Amino acid sequence: MSEPVDPRLNSFIVRLAATHDFPQLRQWFLRSPAATTLLTRMAHGQVPIDHDTLDAAAGDRGGRAISVEHLRRLLVAAGALPPREEYLARLEAAFARVIEHTPGEDQMVIARYVHWHVLPGVRRRLATGRDPQRTCTLARGMLYGPRRLVDELHSRGEHIGSLRQPVLDQWLARRRSDAISVSVFLRWAARHRLASSVNLPVPRMNDPMDFNDPDQQWELLRRCLHDHTLSPRTRLAGTLVLMYGQHASTIVQLRASHVTPGPPTTLRLGTDAVEISEPIATVLRHAATGTISTLAERGIANSFETSEDRWLFPGRGPGKRLGTEALLNELRRAGIRSRQARNTTLLTLARELPPAVLADLLGIGTSTADRWRQWAGGTWAAYEVPSHR
């Protein structure tokens, strides 16, 4: 570049120069004209080097403009931008749009609900290490029902403060899928005297209904252990679901620090570490040291990695883990339906281990382990569990 370059980009330029895959680097610039143009303008001081500039360039798609988001992650990894929780930032932007388009006096009610209840709850969960993608997706879903209820009331010339029981009952009869989110919202609104008290449905925990046939469960596990036509990442993730009942959102948050190479090789899922046997132990060690084959797919992001405590399931961006939905899709392509596989595993283990031991080994709550123990001895007592072969 002939013009002076903003010194904050020096580290970024050095890391680009350290990239060994020059053809891929060239392709990234050619395929990403929006990011390339933005980077040039940042370098010459034509636009600020900050998250607001990138948000504006990403448009109104919730920050999902792929090339701009990839540039953001590279700039953060190089120290040119401060880190931020992207899923939370997108959630806040989405909520701002919902509030802006909420009609009438209920706009104030929805705004207070978002800023006093929903977002503080999200931040508390993120502070305890919850999966950001899943947490923010669930939080966004919790606003859909209340927003639809507000639209219904507005069409009647009414508002949340004037909500009557017959109107609510009729609406919930048509919108049963919104019952939980609307119940949470209306209880909050009543506590803050923004809505009158109404009778609300009480959400109940449904019994698990989806299971694998025992022979099918064993065949899936056999493939994960021994079928080298599957990627190492799929084999490792599938084993964690089929043997240890792990949820995909938990698996993608595992780091190298959760692994002790041994011997024996162990993985800490809960309070106590579990011993991982071969052949998956080798795959796990490779994931912990970054030699698993999927790293080769990450392109220029490898030059921007700084953390030694790497993700076991890395994404394509520097410091980025694989997304929960991406892992679920990968498992589905291997024939593994996570819910059925996980339910089958937890039911099996709940029959063999006390709830406290199950909770400590698998990293699930004690109350969850208790419920699985009850299901194993009650509703599903006649279910044939997969035998250990």
DSSP 330-380: HHHHTT--HHHHHHHHHHHHHHHS-HHHHHHHHT--HHHHHHHHHHHHTTT
Return the residue matching tokens 């939905």.
325
d(C-alpha 165, C-alpha 157), whole Å:
16
Q: How far apart are the first and last CA of the chain?
A: 64
Contact 86, 63 (CB under 8 A): yes
Structure tokens at 370: 């208790």
On whether the pTM is more than 0.85, the answer is no
d(C-alpha 150, C-alpha 103), whole Å:
8
Residue 333: per-residue pLDDT:
93
Contact 306, 299 (CB under 8 A): no
Q: What is the pLDDT along the chain (389 residues), one digit of tens a residue?
A: 456 677 888 888 777 776 666 666 677 676 777 888 888 888 888 999 999 898 888 876 544 477 788 888 888 888 888 988 888 998 999 999 999 999 888 999 999 999 999 999 999 998 887 778 888 988 999 999 999 999 999 999 999 999 999 999 999 889 888 888 999 999 999 999 998 888 887 666 566 678 888 889 999 999 999 999 999 999 999 999 999 999 998 899 898 899 998 789 999 988 888 889 889 989 988 888 876 644 445 556 665 665 667 888 887 777 778 888 889 999 999 999 999 999 999 988 888 888 888 888 888 888 888 888 888 775 544 445 555 54
b or e along 113-136 (b: 16 or more beta carbons within 10 Å of the residue's beta carbon)?
bbeebbbeebeebbeeebbbbbbb
Residue 74: per-residue pLDDT:
83
Q: What is the DSSP letter of 117?
A: I
32 contacts: CB under 8 Å, gap ≥ 6: 67, 70, 71
Q: Which of 7, 92, 5, 80 is nearest to 41 (CA)?
A: 5
Contact 175, 168 (CB under 8 A): no
Residue 296: per-residue pLDDT:
44
Q: Which of 268, 305, 271, 313 is nearest to 288 (CA)?
A: 313
